[in-house]
Amino acid sequence: MTITVPPKGIGPLARREARLAWGLLLPTLISVMLVVILPLLAIIWISFKPVTLADLRTAEPIIREDLRDADEAKPYIRYRIRNSSRSDPIFNVVFSDVVPEGVTLLSTPDGCDLDGAVLTCDLGDLEPGGRITLEVPVTLEEGGAIKDGTAPAITGSAQNVLTNGEFTLANFIAIFDAREFWTVVGTTLFYTVVGTLGALIVGLFAALLLNKSFPGQGLLRGLYLFPYVAPVIAVAFSWVILFDPFSGSVNALLIQMGVTEQAINFFGERPLALIMVTVFEIWRYFPLSFLFILARMQSIDTDMYEAADVDGASPFQKFRYLSLPMLMGILSVLFLLRFIWTFNKFDDIFLLTGGNAGTRTLTVNVYEQAFALSNIGAGAAVAVIILMCLLTFSWFFFRFMSKEEGL
């Protein structure tokens, strides 16, 4: 009798399956590569470059052509060439133009060649902001209308800061030296930690409220999810208007109730603005934690609670010793996920305060540096710092996730 052994190694079928799998995944992988991996590499590259917003437009030679024959003693064709950039030179500028019919060139300027009707000029290098004017004397055919059908073509090569070999650490030095950098880090930490914990705790409370069936439960659940599903721009502007210092309802209410004498500028004063932004974060994202916690709660076996009832456990005891341990897994996963996403949050703060009044977090700082201060290199440097933090967080996340599977 022969002993049958299972085949070892990868068989042809398995290989075919793997090929198919990669084939199916290919479009996704390529698109993710293009839009996620490449930009991430780009941002690391840029962070070592002295780039400003103005540098994004590559230096280009610009040419204008006109025929001067009206008030001039002798008619001539004038070519005016200039460098569009005030900071970068352009090398090997060459232009060519077709001389219109009925026009005869009397002479060709230096560096120019006339080949049939095509005039080609090699102008050499063009300095930053440089201009060259070429005048070519011509004779015109009598009587005929002169039509110039072709625009001159011009080429030149300019170096782009983004692609040349110039590197600098100045961006990072500037970022770390900036006086407000550590304030920004502190703000980010406060916003992230308080926002995450707040959303979790409020979400837990909401889930406890709705973890029983009563008429209208579905409606309330839908209502409590509104802050999360509504467009951020809509709810952020509603909050701004609600808390407006001049004509906001909240201020009017507080003044009338005698809580304050003067209107409070909720999104414009230093410690308050940060607190308000964090409260907004809690308000907007508690639905998410609430939904997850509720889903988990409803999957807990009711037998356990019945057993606890038999043993005489009180409601608080049941929550403390039964529900909470069962929810610990989802709570910690939610904490980690929300922590990372809150850390990444940009649009909420940007819409509410624009990063003013002590609410500038790291992500807002990226925008501030890159667009408000037009220093793209510095913005990229902040982005790289963010990425470093995120790598650390996600290391924690995956270490934890391997134990706490699910989600």
Partner 1 sequence: MNVFWHSSVTGPIIGVLWSFVIATTVAVLLSFTTGDAFRPGLIGCLFMGGFAGIMAVQPVSRVLVAACAAILAVAFSYTAVSPVHVAGNVGHGGHWAAGIAFGIGLAWPVRVMFDGCPKGVLGRHEWEAAVIRFLTGVGYIFFTAAVAIPFYVMVMTSLKTQGELIANPLDFSIDFNRGWELLRSYEELFRDFNFGRYMWTSFYISVLTVLITLLFSIPGAYAVARLRFKGQKGLSRSILLIYMVPMIVLALPIYIAFSMTGLRNSIIGIVMIYPVTTIPVALYMLQGYFRGLPAEVEEAGLMDGLGRLQVIWKITLPLSLPALASVSLYVFMIAWNEFLLAFMLLDDPSKFTLTRGIASLNSSEIPRQHLMAGAVIATVPVMVMFLGLEKFMTRGLTAGSVKG
Min dist. Cβ of residue 119 to partner 1 (A)? 30
Rule CB under 8 A: say whether 324 interacts with partner 1. Answer: no
Name which of 193 and 208 has its Cβ closer to partner 1: 208
Min dist. Cβ of residue 322 to partner 1 (A)? 14
In 3-state terms, what secondary structure has residue 191?
Answer: helix
Name which of 123 and 359 has its Cβ closer to partner 1: 359
Min dist. Cβ of residue 300 to partner 1 (A)? 15
Q: What region, left, alpha or beta, does residue 216 occupy, with left being phi > 0 and alpha being psi -120 to 50 degrees? A: left
Among 65, 135, 269, 347, binds partner 1 (CB under 8 A): 347
Rule CB under 8 A: say whether 331 interacts with partner 1. Answer: no
DSSP secondary structure string, 19-63?
A: HHHHHHHHHHHHHHIIIIIHHHHHHHHHHTS---GGGGSPP-EEE
The contacts of residue 243 (CB under 8 Å, 6+ apart) are 250, 251, 266, 267, 276
- Which residues, numbered 151-170, are part of the site for partner 1 (CB under 8 A)? 162
Q: Other CB atoms closer than 10 Å to residue 279's CB: what's the count?
A: 15
Rule CB under 8 A: say whether 39 interacts with partner 1. Answer: yes
- Which residues, numbered 78-137, are part of the site for partner 1 (CB under 8 A)? none
Cβ contact 136:109 at 8 Å: yes
Please choose, out of 85-93, 110-118, 129-137, 364-372, the segment that lies near partner 1 by the rule CB under 8 A: 364-372
Among 171, 196, 251, 359, binds partner 1 (CB under 8 A): 251
The contacts of residue 52 (CB under 8 Å, 6+ apart) are 374, 375, 376, 377
Among 11, 32, 64, 173, binds partner 1 (CB under 8 A): 32
Rule CB under 8 A: say whether 288 interacts with partner 1. Answer: yes
**Residue span 197-216 as binding mask against partner 1, x where in contact by CB under 8 A, dash where not:** --------xx-xx-------
Among 154, 343, 352, 358, binds partner 1 (CB under 8 A): 343
Rule CB under 8 A: say whether 346 interacts with partner 1. Answer: yes
Min dist. Cβ of residue 22 to partner 1 (A)? 7
Rule CB under 8 A: say whether 4 interacts with partner 1. Answer: no
Rule CB under 8 A: say whether 295 interacts with partner 1. Answer: yes
Query: Residue 382 corresponds to which tokens in the numbers above?
Result: 């902040």
> Comparing C-alpha atoms, which of 393, 379, 383 is closest to residue 341?
393
Min dist. Cβ of residue 154 to partner 1 (A)? 19
Among 35, 118, 328, 388, binds partner 1 (CB under 8 A): 35
Name which of 10 and 169 has its Cβ closer to partner 1: 10
Rule CB under 8 A: say whether 54 interacts with partner 1. Answer: no
Min dist. Cβ of residue 351 to partner 1 (A)? 8
Rule CB under 8 A: say whether 38 interacts with partner 1. Answer: yes
Query: Cα 289–290–295 angle (5° rounding)?
Result: 100
> Comparing C-alpha atoms, which of 179, 363, 342, 359 is closest to residue 268?
359
Query: Cα 247–252–253 angle (5° rounding)?
Result: 145
Q: Other CB atoms closer than 10 Å to residue 56's CB: what's the count?
A: 12
Rule CB under 8 A: say whether 388 interacts with partner 1. Answer: no
Cβ contact 390:340 at 8 Å: yes
The burial class, CB within 10 Å (0-12 / 13-18 / 19+), for 322 is middle
**Cα–Cα distance, 404 to 406 (Å, whole number):** 7
- Which residues, numbered 299-318, are part of the site for partner 1 (CB under 8 A)? 314-316
